[in-house]
Structure 1
Amino acid sequence: MCGINGIFSHNKQSYLPQVQQMNKAMAHRGPDDKGTFSSDYITLGHQRLSIIDLSSAGHQPMHTPDQRYTIVYNGEIYNFPDIKKELNYPFQSQTDTEVILAAWQTWGNACLHKLNGMFTFAIWDDKEKSLTLVRDRLGIKPLYYFYDNEKLLFSSELRSLLASNLIPRQIDPEGLTDYLRYQTVQAPNTIVKNVRMLEPGSYLEIKADKKSLITKKWWHIDKCQSEVPGSYQEVKAEVAKRFYASVERRLVADVPFGAFLSGGIDSSAVVGAMAQVSNRQVKTFNISFAEKEFSEAKYASHIAQLHQTDHTEINLSPNDFLRELPNALNAIDHPSGDGPNTWVVSKVTKQAGVTMALSGLGGDELFAGYPIFNRMAKLESYKALYRLPLGLRKTLGSALQKVKPGVASNKMKALLSLKNYDFATQYSISRQVLLDDRVNQLLHTPAQSPHLPIELLKSFSLNDKSILTKVSISEVSTYMQNVLLRDSDQMSMAHALEVRVPFLDHELVEFMLSVPDKFKYPHSPKKLLVDALPHLLPDYIVNRQKMGFVFPWSEWLKKDLYELGTHHISQLAQRPYFKVDALTDLWTQFNNNNPSVTYSRLWPLIVLNHWMEKNEID
């Protein structure tokens, strides 16, 4: 795992000083080595975190023997030994980097379909004078870029692009609207004007003699298919087979490794599989709280004892977290409504001598674990409601809002106010943090930009999909990729810790997106996963209340973090996009326990202002 960056110039200008500054800005991603390469049209930079082949043979940028191809790469290819056997190439290292380079030289971009892993990389072709940027199927690793018809800048981190001082530090108005709606910005947009993200499963090409970018999808989540057996017993067996294979693939490393263990179904399954396939004791890490109602420590401890792991419990009080919060906020690369939890557990994991850790991220998205799966299934079954007159439905929504005020009734009112039933719109409203009427109250200019998640989902081929598969595709392509994965990357790499996600092995994902709904959710969330791995998931884990890495934010923001919140909300209110009274009133409503204004509506705003201050964003 590493950090990559570079600058391509149509006019052959050298940008070595700028790339060195970009490297410096993300040195935390790769403290083991650094390198640059500069030639006509191209300057590349790399920061290395050594995971496989720790020797100097893994130095990047890396070249083919004939010097035609040069690569900078961030990620892990888990099946690289198998690919290596297919190649006739004079290998000089044991790295997966060199395998990608050799595969590209042999097969070109067709090699992408052979890769199993998480990755972004850039390959310079000195003969064709072309640069290709590539991102993995599921967007596990980020890649940002900026193009102004003269030069293309790219990097693993947004702050690295900003460090070049070649990009205007301006908020993108559409990105801001998207952020207020969804606590993130949907790729390919970002919060910074004219900075884009390469979309998952895509590659980008640019050539010296053509002032245009070509982007193409090389993997489509809505079109992937896998053969599924007809019986439940066979499906369970296939799930177990693919899951174990995924975990085992992700244990290949030349450094100490561990796992995040919340004590929930997903992380417990990962730890249990690790313990069975690994030849060394697994290290596990759990966050617990002084507030017992928020603590999952006892469940994590049960799993640790069951599998005899080397277990570390991280006990936090509000004061502990308050001391860590400034550092966690400073680690945020692209603003988001999530992340400090991963920062804390990553810090302790790294301090324990672990350089690579496995996470249960992705289990909810594949196995229908979130409440939104049940909600969307119910909405689908209530489609007949949309035959009622719109006025009547609006009246019903308003009545519900009065009887039971809160976030859920506000969203139901918005859903009932739609002209027709539409899956993409229904899903996106269900996932909104601030609804459009609230966004319009906060901004001087009413939000007119389209909902990016709606546009994305409408571009997919979903008509032939079952409802739970539709929700899985939606969750993976929006919330997971643009909140969970982005935060996991930026917060773990702040400590030079690599996080691997077994549930997002593309072979497992493709299979699960092909499994019929009747096997996924007959009566309870994640039943298929539980039934497939009964020996890893005891009843006391399966049947307990789901919590996840939940911080007691509401209590903290009203007490220990009140001054922090007041400062950032006040500062944000002074920025030209926002109405002062509306934003300060939102903060007041939260502190007065308005059920429609929960902590998750305020925290993204606090993060946004902190990020803008730190990065000097206009």
Structure 2
Amino acid sequence: MCGINGIFSLKNIDHRTHVSHMNKAMHHRGPDDKGIWSSEHITLGHQRLSIIDLSKAGHQPMHSSDNNLTLVFNGEIYNFKEIRQELNYSFRSDTDTEVIIAAWNQWGISCVNRFNGMFAFSLWDKRKKQLTIIRDRLGIKPLYYYFDAQNLVFSSELRALTASSLMNKEIDPSGLSDYLRYQTVQAPNTILKGIYMLEPGSCLQISLEDFKLQKQQWWSIDRCDIVVPDNITEVHEHVRELFYNSVKRRLVADVPFGAFLSGGIDSSAVVGAMSKVSNRQVKTFNISFAEKQYSEAKYAEYIAHMHQTDHTEINLSPIDFLKELPHALNAIDHPSGDGPNTWMVSKATKEAGITMALSGLGGDELFAGYAIFARMARLDQHKYIWKIPVPLRQFAGNALQKLKPGVSSDKLSALLNLREYDYFSQYAISRQVLLDSKVNDLLNYELPDEHLSIQVINKLNLNKKEILTKVSISEINTYMQNVLLRDSDQMSMAHALEVRVPFLDHELVQFILSVSDRLKYPHSPKKLLVDSFPELLPDYIVNRPKMGFVFPWSRWLQKDLYELADHHIQELSKRPYFNQAEVQKLWSAFNKNNPSVTYSRIWPLVVLNHWMERNEIL
């Protein structure tokens, strides 16, 4: 796990100084080693976090034996040892990095189809004078880029990209409206104008000959249907085999490893599988709260005891959190409404001597664990409602808001106001943090006609998919990739901790998305996952109240964190993009416990202003 960056220029300019600044901006991603290499028109930089082959032989940028190919790589190729056996190449290291070079040398760009892993890498071909940048199938590792008539600049982090000083730091209005709607910005867009995130399963190529940026998709989640058994027993067997194989692959490391354990179904399954396939005691880490109603500690303790893990409980009080929060906010690379929880557990995990940890991220998206799955299924079953005349539906929605004010009623009213049943618009509304009417009030400019999230999922071939599979693919391509994975990466790498996600093994993903809805969710969330692992998921875990890996934000924002939040809300309201009175009105409504203004409508605003102040964005 590392950080990569580079600059490819039409003019023959040595960009070592620029890349040095970029490396420095993301030193936290790879404190074990750093490297810069420059040749005609191209400069590549790297920060290394050593996980496999800790020797100097893993130094990057890495060159092929004939010096034609030069690679910078962030991530892990879990099946690199198997691929290595197929290659006719004289290896100088035991790294997966060199396996990428050898595989490219032998098979060209098609080699990525053989890789099982998480990765973002850039490869320079000296003979062709061509640069290729590739991102993994599910977008686990980030890759940002900027392109103009003179330069292609890329990096693992947004702040490292801007540290090159080769582009202006301007807020993108479309990205800002997307952020207010969804507490993030959907790829390929970002919060900054002219800076993009390479989409999952995609590739950029550019050559000196024409200096035109070509983008293509080498893998897509909507085109990975496979034939699966219709017998539930056989399906359970396949799920078990694929998941255990995924966990086993992700334990290949030359450093101490552990796991995040919340005590929920997903993390319990990961820890249980780790304990069965690992030849050493598993180390587990859990965040607990002084407020018992928010604490999942006892469930994590049950699982830790069940599998005899070396368990660490991180007990937090508001005072502890307040002390650490400025550091967590400083670690945010791209603004997001989530993340400090991962920062806290990553900090404790790294301090315990762990360099790599497994996470249960992705289980809810894959196995229909969120409430949005049942909600979207109900909407699909009752699509006839949208044949009722619009005025009658609007009347019903308005009445509901008055009788039972709150976020759910606001969203249902917005759904009833749609002209017709439309999966894409209904999914977008269901996932919104602030509805369009409120975003329109907050901003001083007109909103874009279409949501970025709708644009993202509209590109996918979902028409023939069953409803739960539709939602899974939508969740994976929006919320999971652009909130959960982005936050997991930036918050864990702030501590030079690598996080691996076994639920996102592409072979497992392909299988689960091909399973029928009736087997996946016959009557309760994640039924397929639960029934596949009875030995890992006891009843007291399966049927416990779902709390989620969250902090008691509402209490904290109104008390312990009030001064911090108030400062950033007030400063944000003065910025030229915002309507000052409306921003302050929203903050006041939250503090008066208006049920339509929950903490998740406020915290992203606090984060946004902090991020803009820290990054000196007007």
TM-score, normalised on structure 2? 1.00
Counterpart in the other structure of 1:384: 384
Question: Cα deviation per residue 1:343-396 (whole Å; 9 max; x = unaligned)?
Answer: 000000000000000000000000000000000000000100011101111111
Q: Helix, strand or coil: the match of 2:123?
A: strand
Counterpart in the other structure of 1:464: 464
Native 8 Å contact 1:79 1:116 kept in 2: yes
After TM superposition, give the deviation of residue 547 of structure 1 in Å.
Answer: 1.4
Cα distance in structure 1, aligned partners of 2:448 and 2:230: 47
After TM superposition, give the deviation of residue 548 of structure 1 in Å.
Answer: 2.0
Counterpart in the other structure of 2:151: 151
Native 8 Å contact 1:58 1:95 kept in 2: yes
Counterpart in the other structure of 1:477: 477
Which residue identity is paired with 2:376? M
Cα distance in structure 1, aligned partners of 2:212 and 2:615: 29
* Residues 309-320 of structure 1 aligned to structure 2 (within 5 Å): 309-320=309-320
Cα distance in structure 1, aligned partners of 2:11 and 2:446: 41
After TM superposition, give the deviation of residue 61 of structure 1 in Å.
Answer: 0.3
Q: Helix, strand or coil: the match of 1:212?
A: coil
Counterpart in the other structure of 2:331: 331
Cα distance in structure 1, aligned partners of 2:548 and 2:126: 48
Counterpart in the other structure of 1:203: 203
Cα distance in structure 2, aligned partners of 1:143 and 1:406: 38
Cα distance in structure 1, aligned partners of 2:427 and 2:134: 29
After TM superposition, give the deviation of residue 13 of structure 1 in Å.
Answer: 1.1
Cα distance in structure 1, aligned partners of 2:581 and 2:453: 29
Question: Cα deviation per residue 1:50-108 (whole Å; 9 max; x = unaligned)?
Answer: 00000000000000111110000000000001100110000000000000011111111
Q: Helix, strand or coil: the match of 2:254?
A: coil
Q: Helix, strand or coil: the match of 2:57?
A: helix
Cα distance in structure 1, aligned partners of 2:463 and 2:225: 15
544-553 or 533-542, larger mean C-alpha shift: 544-553
Which residue identity is paired with 1:356? M
Counterpart in the other structure of 2:304: 304
Counterpart in the other structure of 2:594: 594
Cα distance in structure 2, aligned partners of 1:488 and 1:78: 19
Native 8 Å contact 1:287 1:316 kept in 2: yes
After TM superposition, give the deviation of residue 449 of structure 1 in Å.
Answer: 4.5
Cα distance in structure 2, aligned partners of 1:369 and 1:392: 33
Q: Helix, strand or coil: the match of 1:222?
A: helix
Question: Cα deviation per residue 1:253-294 (whole Å; 9 max; x = unaligned)?
Answer: 000000000000000000000000000000000000000000
Counterpart in the other structure of 1:242: 242
* Residues 429-440 of structure 1 aligned to structure 2 (within 5 Å): 429-440=429-440
After TM superposition, give the deviation of residue 448 of structure 1 in Å.
Answer: 2.3
Native 8 Å contact 1:177 1:449 kept in 2: no
Counterpart in the other structure of 1:265: 265
Counterpart in the other structure of 1:113: 113
Counterpart in the other structure of 1:281: 281
Counterpart in the other structure of 1:402: 402
After TM superposition, give the deviation of residue 446 of structure 1 in Å.
Answer: 2.2
Cα distance in structure 1, aligned partners of 2:164 and 2:463: 44
Counterpart in the other structure of 1:510: 510
Q: Say whether 1:86 aligns with 2:86.
A: yes
Q: Say whether 1:552 aligns with 2:542.
A: no
Native 8 Å contact 1:142 1:486 kept in 2: yes
Cα distance in structure 2, aligned partners of 1:153 and 1:342: 29
Native 8 Å contact 2:590 2:598 kept in 1: yes
Cα distance in structure 1, aligned partners of 2:530 and 2:343: 29
* Residues 24-35 of structure 1 aligned to structure 2 (within 5 Å): 24-35=24-35
Question: Cα deviation per residue 1:502-546 (whole Å; 9 max; x = unaligned)?
Answer: 000000000000000001111110011000000000100000011
Structure 1 outlier segments of 4+, above 4 Å: none
Which residue identity is paired with 2:221? I
Question: Cα deviation per residue 1:138-176 (whole Å; 9 max; x = unaligned)?
Answer: 000000000111001000000001111111011111100
Counterpart in the other structure of 1:190: 190
Cα distance in structure 1, aligned partners of 2:506 and 2:603: 33
Cα distance in structure 2, aligned partners of 1:569 and 1:76: 40
Cα distance in structure 1, aligned partners of 2:109 and 2:598: 47
Which residue identity is paired with 1:71? L
Which residue identity is paired with 1:289? F
Cα distance in structure 1, aligned partners of 2:226 and 2:27: 40
Counterpart in the other structure of 1:612: 612
Counterpart in the other structure of 1:47: 47
* Residues 446-457 of structure 1 aligned to structure 2 (within 5 Å): 446-457=446-457
Native 8 Å contact 1:286 1:314 kept in 2: yes
Question: Cα deviation per residue 1:317-366 (whole Å; 9 max; x = unaligned)?
Answer: 00000000000000000000000000000000000000000000000000
Q: Helix, strand or coil: the match of 1:357?
A: strand
After TM superposition, give the deviation of residue 185 of structure 1 in Å.
Answer: 0.2
Counterpart in the other structure of 1:565: 565
TM-score, normalised on structure 1? 1.00
Native 8 Å contact 2:188 2:199 kept in 1: yes
Native 8 Å contact 1:10 1:209 kept in 2: no
Native 8 Å contact 1:6 1:153 kept in 2: yes
Counterpart in the other structure of 1:161: 161
Question: Cα deviation per residue 1:540-595 (whole Å; 9 max; x = unaligned)?
Answer: 00000111211000000000000001000000001000011100110000000000
Counterpart in the other structure of 2:128: 128
Give the superposed CA RMSD.
0.6
Cα distance in structure 2, aligned partners of 1:371 and 1:19: 44
Name the % identity.
69
Counterpart in the other structure of 1:9: 9
* Residues 168-183 of structure 1 aligned to structure 2 (within 5 Å): 168-183=168-183
Native 8 Å contact 2:186 2:456 kept in 1: no
